[in-house]
């Protein structure tokens, strides 16, 4: 039986998905302070005018502040060096944080729905002008925050979550402005809880993908955007590779993907050259950490039920 060789591809600890780390930290701190200030203003006006739509939007904005804080924590945890019993460091905690963000948003949705139902039974007169002006400020703040977070939203699940929340909040604020205008024109105070329910649906929609993506990564499912069949085709198309089996792909963190595979080659002497080619192609396909075990054609793999076919 031909010898097996195992090779590991090591990377430096995860950093922010783009740009200078210090700039990123300052950006998130600025977004946190900006949104925290608005939450205070919106909640104050909501209590003053007894507006459920403003209070529910303020509650969701507060959850977005927590979301931004958790993103900062996630990146710091991802930078912890591997040690002791944590051979990948604490990178997996970034996935736990994205799941926590999704759960917090679902709790917020439940609270909004309960309060909306109560408001349907006991409508309260609200000041449509105050609601519209306050929510109008929210459009500017949420929109600015979403714009600032746009660039990093494609590189990391946590940043994607924060960006989607801010986009949803911008749309929600538009709905609240519409609610205030409609109340002023018609006097229909029931519009307030109706808009609150719409807000809940929007939040649920923006949260669902975050929840499902997080759950899939928690149980080591294949990360979004990575297709095992496509990865196998890339590997088998590499010069010198006969076939690939025992292919496994999972996420180490919200930014780093890993792969293990058995690679059957026709010439063991070319193993190092083939390995380098595979690592380059896998890295380009979004696999940062690859562990490859090489076998010759015709050898028997103890983990494989049949003999490897001849190239």
pLDDT tens for the chain, residues 1 to 311: 444 444 443 333 333 443 455 677 788 889 899 989 988 888 888 888 777 767 777 876 787 788 788 888 877 777 778 777 887 788 888 888 888 878 877 887 887 788 788 877 776 666 667 777 877 888 888 888 888 888 766 667 777 777 877 887 787 778 778 777 887 788 787 887 888 788 788 778 877 888 888 899 999 999 888 899 999 999 999 988 999 999 999 998 887 899 999 999 988 888 999 999 999 999 999 898 999 999 887 776 666 555 555 56
The Cα 4–Cα 292 span in angstroms is 10
CB atoms within 10 A of CB 33: 12
Phi then psi dihedrals of residue 80, to 5 deg? -65, 130
At residue 96's C-alpha, the angle toward residues 90 and 97, to 5°, is 95
**C-alpha separations of 148 from 30, 31, 162, 288 in Å:** 10, 8, 11, 27
What predicted TM-score, i.e. pTM, was given to this entire model? 0.71
């Amino acid at each position: 039986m031909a010898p097996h060789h195992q090779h590991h591809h090591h990377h430096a600890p995860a950093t922010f998905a783009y740009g200078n780390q210090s700039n990123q930290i300052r950006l998130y701190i600025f977004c946190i302070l900006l949104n925290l200030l608005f939450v205070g203003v919106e909640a104050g006006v909501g209590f003053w005018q007894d507006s459920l739509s403003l209070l529910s939007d303020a509650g969701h904005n507060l959850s977005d502040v927590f979301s931004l804080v958790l993103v900062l924590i996630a990146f710091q945890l991802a930078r912890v060096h591997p040690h002791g019993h944590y051979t990948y460091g604490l990178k997996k905690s970034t996935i736990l944080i994205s799941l926590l963000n999704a759960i917090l948003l679902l709790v917020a949705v439940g609270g909004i729905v309960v309060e909306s139902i109560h408001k349907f039974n006991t409508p309260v007169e609200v000041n449509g002008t105050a609601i519209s002006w306050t929510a109008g400020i929210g459009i500017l703040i949420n929109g600015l925050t979403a714009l600032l977070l746009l660039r990093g939203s494609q590189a990391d699940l946590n940043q994607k979550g924060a960006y989607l929340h801010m986009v949803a909040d911008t749309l929600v604020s538009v709905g609240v402005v519409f609610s205030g205008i409609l109340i002023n024109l018609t006097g229909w105070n029931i519009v307030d809880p109706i808009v609150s329910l719409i807000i809940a649906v929007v939040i649920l929609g923006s949260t669902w993908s975050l929840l499902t993506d997080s759950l899939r990564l928690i149980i080591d499912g294949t990360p979004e955007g990575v297709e095992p069949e496509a990865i196998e085709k890339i590997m088998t198309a590499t010069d010198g590779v006969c076939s690939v089996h025992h292919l496994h792909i999972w996420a180490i963190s919200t930014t780093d993907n890993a792969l293990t595979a058995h690679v059957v080659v026709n010439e063991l002497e070319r193993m190092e050259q083939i390995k380098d080619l595979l690592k380059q192609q896998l890295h380009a396909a979004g696999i940062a950490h690859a562990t490859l075990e090489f076998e010759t054609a015709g050898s028997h793999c103890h983990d494989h039920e049949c003999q490897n076919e001849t190239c």
